[in-house]
Structure 1
Amino acid sequence: MGEKYDALMKNHTSTLTPPPLDSVIIGSRWVYAIKKVPDGSIKKYKASLVAKGCHQQHGIDFDKIFSPVIQPTTIRTVLTLALSNGWCLRQFYFNNAFLNGDITETVYMT
């Protein structure tokens, strides 16, 4: 959790500030996961800070939502192309990936 928090602070993703009285405040929470290797032993503990989207109201708290999820069919297609063409495949792990662009709205989160 400390590593993720440090990355958020280093990338200036937020600013600690008191919200105005008439603002909508979105809740947040830390989500924890245990990552294991194939033999079942623990590889690492993972933490992510997420907004409680269930507190948002359509037309008030959000405009667009995008969740990048790849379909299993796409993965199989890419693997088949790589195998049939003799391509080399590599796997990368990004410790902290900030995939979303800058937002123009002011969002208050607890």
Structure 2
Amino acid sequence: MTEELQALHRQGMWSLIPPPSQHLILGCKWTYQIKLNLNGKIDRYKARLVEKCFDQQLGINYHGTFSPVAKLPTIQILLEIANQHACQVTKLDVSNTFLHGDIEEDVYMCQQ
């Protein structure tokens, strides 16, 4: 959880403000996942802070959905490094990819 919060702070994902009364304030929750290494043993525990966006309404407080992914040059560089070191790539995980997506709307989330 500490790693996730540090990544969010490094990216400047939010600022703490009094809640505006005219906007929907979303809740949040922590999700957890166990990451395994290639031999099936626990590699690490991952925590992600997510907003509870089920109260949002299309056209009112959001205008579309998307799933941000790593940019193509990033993937190409990683594959080239693997190629130069004669590594076989079976899985690729880019940390905090969603932090690099662009949104046009202001999103207000309560602190929990």
- TM-score of the pair, normalised by structure 2: 0.68
Aligned-residue offset at 1:39: 3.7
What one-letter code is carried by the residue in structure 2 that aligns with 1:29?
Answer: K
What one-letter code is carried by the residue in structure 1 that aligns with 2:13?
Answer: T
Aligned-residue offset at 1:7: 0.8
Kindly provide the CA deviation profile for residues 4-31 of structure 1, in whole angstroms up to 9, marking residues without a partner as x. 1001001101111111122211111111
Q: 2:62 touches 2:105 (CA, 8 Å); kept in 1?
A: no
Aligned-residue offset at 1:68: 5.4
Please state whether the residue corresponding to 1:40 is helix, strand or coil.
coil
Give RMSD over aligned pairs. 2.2
Tell me the matched-pair count.
Answer: 91
User: For residues 68 and 9 of structure 1, what CA distance do their matches in structure 2 show?
Assistant: 19
After superposition, the Cα gap between the structure-2 partners of 1:39 and 1:92, relative to the gap in structure 1 and judged at 3 Å, is: closer
Please state whether the residue corresponding to 2:9 is helix, strand or coil.
helix
- TM-score of the pair, normalised by structure 1: 0.69
Structure 1, gaps ≥5 residues long: 70-87
* 2:18 aligned partner: 18
What one-letter code is carried by the residue in structure 2 that aligns with 1:99?
Answer: H
* 1:77 aligned partner: none
Which structure has the larger Rg over C-alpha atoms? Answer: 1
User: For residues 14 and 105 of structure 1, what CA distance do their matches in structure 2 show?
Assistant: 13
After superposition, the Cα gap between the structure-2 partners of 1:31 and 1:62, relative to the gap in structure 1 and judged at 3 Å, is: same
* 1:83 aligned partner: none
Give me the identity figure in percent. Answer: 41
User: For residues 22 and 66 of structure 2, what CA distance do their matches in structure 1 show?
Assistant: 27
Aligned-residue offset at 1:66: 1.2
* 1:81 aligned partner: none
Please state whether the residue corresponding to 2:100 is helix, strand or coil.
coil
After superposition, the Cα gap between the structure-2 partners of 1:104 and 1:67, relative to the gap in structure 1 and judged at 3 Å, is: closer
After superposition, the Cα gap between the structure-2 partners of 1:20 and 1:68, relative to the gap in structure 1 and judged at 3 Å, is: closer
Aligned-residue offset at 1:38: 4.2
User: For residues 11 and 68 of structure 2, what CA distance do their matches in structure 1 show?
Assistant: 21
User: For residues 11 and 68 of structure 1, what CA distance do their matches in structure 2 show?
Assistant: 15
